[in-house]
């Protein structure tokens, strides 16, 4: 009984924080330039192959996007995996870093550009080294993970960027799926069956 009472005592805080996160996501997502997302969607659609690269939680979000793009029938690779081939001309590297300064993300972008691939970046900073390397940039108006106590977000360490990154990539997937006019059953045939 004591544990249930203690758990119930957290309900007001959970409710308050759910509203905080929902409101921050709504505001940040509304601040994305939809034309930037449309350009990225077009680049993904017209790439020979799509590569994704990102560190930490941003990297995890990109892996989720890679899965959805694979469901559409695109050839997609996650940078750093043992079966990922070399990037080349005609390919697109989609890379995300809230700060735009993550060393691995910037190096990946520079390598892809040097190989003749297109680079698309998603970041909070349009002036960052990552953005400067990219031909297409989507800016998410969120705090960087090092902006502790930021007026942009009360959440911890880049959470808002990662949450809105997921929404932006889901919007691109939905847009590409709508334009492909393929039934969900067709996409489902590509879903992993070795789980």
- Looking at residue 31, what DSSP letter applies? T
- The radius of gyration of the chain from alpha carbons, rounded to an integer in Å, stands at 18
Q: Distance between CA 52 and CA 194 in Å, rounded? A: 22
Q: Among 136, 107, 128, which residue's Cα sits nearest to residue 47? A: 136
Active site residue 162: yes
150, two tokens: 């930021």
- Helices of type H across the chain: 2-9, 11-30, 34-46, 56-71, 103-114, 129-133, 159-180, 184-188
Catalytic residue from among 162, 185, 186, 195: 162
Instruction: List, by residue number, the catalytic residues.
Output: 162
């Amino acid at each position: 009984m004591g544990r249930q009472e203690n758990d119930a005592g957290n309900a007001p805080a959970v409710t308050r924080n759910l509203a905080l996160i929902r409101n921050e996501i709504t505001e940040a997502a509304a601040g994305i330039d939809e034309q930037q997302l449309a350009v990225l969607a077009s680049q993904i659609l017209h790439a020979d192959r799509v590569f994704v690269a990102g560190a930490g939680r941003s990297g995890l979000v990109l892996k989720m996007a890679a899965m959805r793009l694979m469901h559409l029938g695109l050839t997609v690779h996650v940078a750093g995996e043992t079966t990922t081939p070399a990037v080349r001309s005609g390919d697109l590297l989609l890379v995300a870093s809230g700060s735009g300064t993550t060393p691995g993300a910037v190096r990946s972008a520079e390598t892809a550009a040097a190989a003749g691939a297109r680079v698309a970046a998603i970041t909070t900073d349009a002036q960052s080294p990552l953005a400067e390397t990219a031909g297409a940039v989507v800016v998410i108006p969120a705090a960087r993970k090092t902006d502790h106590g930021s007026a942009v977000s009360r959440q911890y360490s880049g959470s808002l960027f990662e949450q809105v990154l997921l929404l932006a990539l889901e919007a691109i997937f939905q847009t590409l799926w709508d334009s492909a006019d393929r039934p969900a059953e067709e996409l489902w045939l590509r879903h992993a069956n070795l789980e």
